Amino acid sequence: MIKAPEHIRSIKPYSPGKPVEELERELGITGSVKLASNENPVGPSPRAVKAMRESAGSLNRYPDGGCYYLREALSAKLRVRPGELIFGNGSNEIIELAVRTFLNPGDEVISAHPSFVVYSTIVQAAGGGNIIIPLRDMRHDLEAMASAITDRTKIIFIANPNNPTGTINTQAEMDSFMKKVPRNVLVVIDEAYYEYVTAADYADSMKYLRQGRALLVLRTFSKIYGLAGLRIGYGISRAEITAEMNKVRQPFNVNSPAQKAAAAALADTGHIEKTKRINERGKKYLYKELSKLKIDYVPTEANFIYMIFRKNTAGRLYNALLKEGVIVRPVGPSEIRVTIGLPGENKKFIEALRKVIPA
């Protein structure tokens, strides 16, 4: 019998959030809400939907492998050269491309915990070593991460805002960190929730690209743009870095409807502003209600909230909330992450939470 190598066999597969349809089928209920995957509850821009539908007539053709029109639109918006952009089947694929391109077996990658688990999974699959640094005060401990750098370090992953805590690292913290990072180490800053941030001291990662640093900034159309089902993300880096990554990128990796919808969504600034307003109102509502319930939470700069319950109760609460038709995301033995939804969804969550939390 053929066997995968041990470093593959020992990987724990990523567990996505339970779909609403599956929950309702299992429990025979209706009216459920999914607040587990940090999706935009408003949905995609109508312009994006229209563009996607119009692309359906040419589905017999392979997509533009270079994402030309989307590349030109993003290049103008971000004020970067077209060659400094790389596109992927979600930003997840770009994480994988970075690891496959720059990591040799036995090299080390530094990331944080808790943070996006895909970083360490992809590194392990490539035969690399994961150096995991615990968060400090629910944020990336950049001092400890810098201290962990050795001659074997090739990549450092930083989620800013961090998933699942919703916290950020400031400009001053990032400036201090970048001064300590050798120029032969690739720093990957994952900004999947970039558009939601309101903090004035949020770090401008593009600054380091302008300085010529070895940096890869990840962003996505899955979150605020509401195109999670189309799987499209992008990275921004120096042209010589994206050129190497493109050598291992599969041709036609971003489908035509995704490219068309993303370009249209990018132009619909009104839809983005509407989404941000709804998210901010939902955040304030949830803060208020969680405080009434005396539930600990971490203030967020994203579209989700990290909540801390009594010891080892997250699994029980998750299952109890499922029975109330609310899907959340357990992210630790006592921690749950909840997406900020529409007003009715937020209210349903709070009402369900009142029923299931211990007295």
Residues 238 and 315 in one domain: no
How confident is the model over 128-156, as pLDDT tens digits?
999 999 999 999 999 999 999 999 999 99
Residues 57 and 108 in one domain: yes
Range of 318's domain?
Answer: 6-43+270-356
The pLDDT of residue 169 is above 90: yes
Separation CA 198–CA 225 (nearest Å): 17
297 versus 16: the higher-pLDDT residue is: 297
Mean pLDDT throughout 274-289?
98
Which pLDDT belongs to residue 358? 67
Residues 188 and 304 in one domain: no
Residues 97 and 237 in one domain: yes
Which pLDDT belongs to residue 184? 96
The pLDDT of residue 278 is above 90: yes
Residues 174 and 116 in one domain: yes
Which pLDDT belongs to residue 18? 72
Which residue blocks in 10-140 are alpha helix, DSSP H?
20-27, 46-54, 68-78, 91-102, 118-125
Mean pLDDT throughout 150-177?
98
Mean pLDDT throughout 211-228?
97
Residues 58 and 158 in one domain: yes
Choosing from 214, 239, 267, the residue where a domain stops is 267
Mean pLDDT throughout 32-61?
96
Residues 332 and 208 in one domain: no
Q: Residue 321 is part of a domain; what is its CATH number?
A: 3.90.1150.10
Which pLDDT belongs to residue 359? 55
Choosing from 267, 287, 303, the residue where a domain stops is 267
Residues 10 and 106 in one domain: no
Amino acid at 27: L
How confident is the model over 111-130, as pLDDT tens digits?
999 999 999 999 999 999 99
Choosing from 218, 237, 267, the residue where a domain stops is 267
Q: How confident is the model at residue 4 (pLDDT cuts 50, 70, 90)?
A: confident
| CA nearest neighbour of 286 among 32, 35, 21, 28 | 35
Distance set, CA 53 to CA 11, 65, 226 (Å): 38, 20, 16
Q: In 10 A of CB 277, how many CB atoms?
A: 11
Arithmetic mean of pLDDT over the chain? 95
313 versus 85: the higher-pLDDT residue is: 85
The pLDDT of residue 165 is above 60: yes
Residues 36 and 97 in one domain: no
Mean pLDDT throughout 186-195?
98
Residue/partner pairs of 238-245 with CB below 8 Å, 24 or more apart: 238/84, 238/209, 238/212, 238/214, 239/81, 239/83, 239/84, 241/186, 241/214, 241/216, 242/83, 242/84, 242/85, 242/86, 243/83, 244/101, 244/102, 245/86, 245/94, 245/97, 245/98, 245/101
Separation CA 329–CA 290 (nearest Å): 17
How confident is the model over 306-344, as pLDDT tens digits?
999 988 899 999 999 999 999 999 999 999 999 999 999
How many domains, the chain?
Answer: 2
Residues 84 and 216 in one domain: yes
Which pair of structure tokens corresponds to residue 264? 């249209």
What share of the chain has pLDDT > 70, as a percent?
99
User: Is 1 within a domain?
Assistant: no
